[in-house]
Amino acid sequence: MSFTRRQVLAGLAGLGVAGLGAGGVRYWLGRPENVATHDYELIAAPLDLELVPGHVTSAWGYGGQAPGLELRCRQGERLRVRFINKLDVQSTIHWHGIRLPLEMDGVPYVSQAPVLPGEFFDYDFICHDAGSFWYHPHTASAEQLGRGLVGPLIVEEREPTGFRHERTLSLKTWHIDEQGAFTDFLVPRQAAREGTRGRLTTINGEPNPTLELPEGQVVRLRLINVDNTITYRLNLPGGEARIYALDGNPVQPRPLGKEYWLGPGMRIDLALKVPSAGEELSLRNGPLRLATLKGVASSEVAGDWPPLLPANPIAEPDLARAETLRFNFEWAAMLSGNVERGGSYKYWQINGQAWDINDKTCAERPIATLKKDGHYIFVLRNMAQYQHPIHLHGMTFKVLSSDRRKIIPYFTDTYLLGKNETARIAFVADNPGVWMFHCHVIDHMETGLMAAIEVV
Ligand code: C2O
Ligand code: CU
Ligand code: CU
């Protein structure tokens, strides 16, 4: 298997980590002034945060922020990001939900060599689909995502959509104690269950923020679950909100309803009719408040509900000629295995195979080989008592049906497979490569629930 060589950071003098001190912002943003638009230099580096008042959390950030700098691009255009690794561990960037060539997918030893400390890697791809996406490493994920290496990637529609206001809300629950110190990102006995939960819930790195929104306007809220393990049960009591997109892909607008379960890796774009100035709504996870949405005075004329967002150019699977493949997600009998000898914990498996995150050759043994441009139905069966947000790299699939809930078919890259649920998804295998297929509960992925799907 061949992959792109990393590049050594030479001749990039002056890019030392300066922290957030004087001149920090310009340094961190690193958006070169005289290069075409949508070019970024994205630096990953240690970053001290004050998540708990009066205490320091030694986080890791992208572009001087955790969650990281919001990257933006227009649909159909190229996005070029020079990723500069100023951490003292190796890393990569994966572009979650973006349909791109394998060499840009950020999976170590499959797409590229890991980017070593002091090195950089140039990511360069076209954003074919508009929507709310995100980025994160695909190396030592429990710790790297846990420390804050997660960030939004917004691909704007080609034409104006009718939304004049929008906000991005990245949801993350930090694994820190009362003094702001990190606690274990992956506790084995939790990995064998629902995953290791953090303690401090934040939106854009802030616990319980108040978002001021212009009264009477319809604001697009892009909610991104960048958390390692938590499924947020989103609700907005008394709010007038409609769902416009799920996981980056437009849906026929419909009311948010009582609750929407946003699993790790998933996104939801809501349109919210902002209440009058001074009025507040509470965006919640189950009964817990995540943020206060507050109307503030605005001189703009009241907004109206924008039309359905334009569909992304995704090939429609032909179910009549599709081949059906079955995938069972189950508990692995072997518990700690050979951990003492350097093996990984394996609690989970797909069709009887557990992925070993310490074995660089796993991707050479794909769990399925698909024909390029073939049409496929995957039957996903969860044989466990815990839910799994199942994610596929490289291609977007259509959710067809479930034995547990009514599905209005829609395109996505991550499907939250509930306890004991069986669901059917379909797609056209139009992107050649070796694509990761895994649960986005990071603890599950790192303890076996990952496989490679090959398209040739
Ligand atoms: Cu966001 Cu391999 O995942
Ligand atoms: Cu992904
Ligand atoms: Cu899982």
User: Looking at the domain assignment, is residue 330 inside a domain?
Assistant: yes
- Evaluate: CB of 96 within 6 angstroms of ligand 1: yes
Q: Quick check: is 301 in a domain?
A: no
Taking only the tens place, the pLDDT of each residue in 295-315 is 999 998 888 999 999 999 999
In-domain check, residue 307? no
Judge if 12 and 149 occupy the same domain. yes
User: Could you tell me the pLDDT band of residue 346, with boundaries at 50, 70 and 90?
Assistant: confident
Does ligand 1 lie within 6 Å of residue 222's CB atom? no
**Low-confidence winner among 133-147, 325-339, 377-391 (lowest mean pLDDT):** 325-339
* Same-domain pairing of 347 and 446: yes
Residue 39's pLDDT is 72
Q: How far is CA 22 from CA 12, 47, 64, 228, 356, in A?
A: 20, 15, 13, 33, 44
Q: How far is CA 250 from the centre of its chain?
A: 17
User: Ligand 1 in contact with 444 (CB < 6 A)?
Assistant: no
Same domain, 185 and 124: no
Tell me: do 140 and 12 sit in the same domain. yes
The 8-class DSSP code of residue 339 comes to: G
In a domain, 76, yes or no: yes
**Chain segment 60-115, per-residue pLDDT in tens:** 999 999 999 999 999 999 999 999 999 999 999 999 999 999 999 999 999 999 99
CA of 277 to the centre of ligand 2 (A): 39
Q: Is the CB–ligand 1 distance for residue 147 below 6 Å?
A: no
Interval between CA 276 and ligand 3 midpoint (Å): 41
pLDDT tens digits, 432-445: 999 999 999 999 99
Specify burial of residue 193 (Cβ count, 10 A radius: 0-12, 13-18, 19+). middle
- Say if residue 11 is in the same domain as residue 147: yes
Instruction: Domain of residue 409: give its range.
Output: 319-455
What's the total number of domains in the chain? 3
**Domain stop point among 139, 156, 173:** 156
Residue 184: DSSP 8-state: -
Residue owning the nearest CA to atom 3 of ligand 1: 96
Do 136 and 174 share a structural domain? Answer: no
Decide if pLDDT at 12 tops 70.
Answer: no
Higher pLDDT, 138 or 339: 138
Helix (H) or strand (E) holding 25: helix 24-29
Q: Answer whether 168's CB lies under 8 Å from 132's CB.
A: yes
For the chain, percent of residues with pLDDT exceeding 90: 80
Residue 91 DSSP code: B
pLDDT top residue among 39 and 388: 388
Do 433 and 339 fall into the same domain? yes
User: Mean pLDDT, to the nearest integer, of 114-136?
Assistant: 96
Separation of CA 340 and ligand 2 centre (Å): 30
- pLDDT of 398 reads 98
Q: How confident is the model at residue 181 (pLDDT cuts 50, 70, 90)?
A: very high
Query: ipTM more than 0.90?
Result: yes
In this structure, of 170-184, 226-240, 331-345, 357-371, the range with the lowest mean pLDDT score is 331-345
- CATH number of domain containing 396: 2.60.40.420
What percentage of the chain reaches a pLDDT higher than 70? 89
**What is the model's pLDDT at position 2?**
56
What average pLDDT does the chain have? 90
Domain finish residue from 91, 121, 156: 156
Asked if 104 and 151 sit in the same domain, the reply is: yes
Task: Go through 92-125 and write b for each residue having 16 or more CB atoms within 10 A of its CB, e for each that does not.
Answer: bbbbbbbbbebbbbbbbbbbbbbbbeebbbebeb
CA of 436, closest atom in ligand 1: 2
pLDDT value of position 26: 31
SS3 content of the chain, % helix, strand, coil (to 5): 5, 45, 50
How far apart CA 160 and CA 205 sit, in angstroms, is 29
271 and 189 within one domain: yes
Q: Which residues surround ligand 2, an ion (CB under 5 A)?
A: 96, 393
Ligand 1 binding pocket includes 172 (Cβ within 6 Å) = no
**Shared domain check, 263 and 196:** yes
Helix, strand, or coil (residue 245): strand
Please give the Cα distance from 325 to 351 (Å, whole number). 11
Whole-angstrom CA distances from 88 to 24, 44, 45, 58, 117 are: 20, 10, 8, 13, 5
Residue of the CA atom closest to atom 1 of ligand 1: 96
The answer to whether the CB of 436 is under 6 A from ligand 1 is: yes
391 alpha carbon – ligand 1 mean position (Å): 7
pLDDT at 162: 93
Task: Tell me, yes or no, whether 170 and 151 share the same domain.
Answer: no
